[in-house]
Homo-oligomer: A and B are copies of this chain.
Amino acid sequence: MFMKKAIELAKKGLYKTCPNPAVGAVIVKDGKIIGKGYHKKAGLDHAEVVAIKSVSDKSLLNGATMYVTLEPCNHYGKTPPCSLAILNSHIKRVVIGMLDVNKTASGSVQFLKGKGLDVTVGCLEEACCKLNEIFITNITKQRPFYAMKAAMLLNGCISIKGGVSRYITSTESLEYVHRLRSRYNGVLVGINTILMDDPLLNCRIKRCNQPKRIVLDAFLKIPLSAKIFSFNPTNIYIATRASSDLNKKSILQSMGVNIIECALSGDGIDLIDLSKKLLERDICSVLVEGGSRIHGSFLSANLYDKAHLFYAPKITGSYGAFNVIGSQAASDFSEVKNLKTYTCRRIGNDIIVEGDF
């Protein structure tokens, strides 16, 4: 029950703490919650410290129990170690949801046990892991968390003949896409999507987090007249090869656009190199919005962690249309990618399938 409360608190920080994990903590004495806190934003106090500070009569902490969704940090980062704050608070028992996957910050279980505290690990572990799927992916895979987003017909086509792809899904689906965008640090498209659809790629919900807008454009074909440039160019990141048109690069940079020079793989951006460079820029989670070849290359490279797939109840032939996955099919069923868990529901007149790879 107390860990559930800590998870609820952690969720308040969800999508805002990047590159840090979302963490919640409650302090319990004699079966009552006497303190609580969550991590709001990187650089601000961690959940444990917020919770300790929330207790005005510090004498109450003596012999109290802390429930915290993630192993407290044990190192000096932007803030001092939480393990030390817990020790100094005279809390006597710590119940931890999941161990920290970040080796630099972990170690507080041993530290606190060594100091005589009672430490339990693994309470509601699955829910705590789910909470930090982005953080865990960042640390363990050293890349952003990638989610595939696509709107398609019932047979997987994202366009009709000639690549026309607008207005496949309903207003309700589009609204949900805007909510999704606010949950990711970045949205990403390939240059063909810019050339064909000319999207803004913003989040049209008031006061939402505007995601960084990332365009993969190996040969820097993006026209300076693209709509994406019509506001806030400083949150645009164009990934291109080092040898792309220097003049165009400097015009873009003078507009405030960020250029990420990446290695090539075949005739596209090398996604491993890109991933490293996005993470260096604290872009921890990316909603990949296509098109066909982009989804094909992310899927083939096994980079998708999650999928948000919208289906309109419409169907047409596939010849001359773009399929959502523009890459070679598996030649054996063992190579097909599976959604391990997923949900399926109606959204407006469409269907949405959301799941984890």
A-side residues, CB < 8 A to B, are: 152-157, 159-162, 164, 167, 296, 299-300, 307, 309, 311, 313-321, 323-333, 335-339, 342, 344-346, 351, 353, 355
CA distance A345 to B344 in the complex (A): 7
Contact among B336, B345, B346 for A160, CB-based, below 8 A: B336
Residues of B within 8 A of A342 (CB): 313
A320 to B300, CA, bound (A): 14
Could you say which residues of chain B place their CB within 8 Å of the CB of A313?
338-339, 342, 353, 355
Query: Which of B300, B314, B323, B338 is within 8 Å of A336, CB to CB?
Result: B314
16 residue pairs bridging A and B, Cβ less than 8 Å apart: A153-B156, A154-B307, A157-B329, A160-B333, A162-B331, A299-B316, A299-B317, A300-B317, A313-B353, A314-B338, A317-B325, A318-B325, A319-B329, A320-B331, A344-B345, A351-B353
Residue numbers in B under 8 Å from A153 (CB-CB):
156, 336
Residues of B near A333 (CB, < 8 A) are 160, 164, 167
B323 near A323 (CB under 8 angstroms)? yes
Judge whether B156 and A329 touch: CB under 8 Å: no
Chain B residues near A355: list those with CB within 8 A: 313
Residues on the B chain within 8 Å of A164, using CB: 333
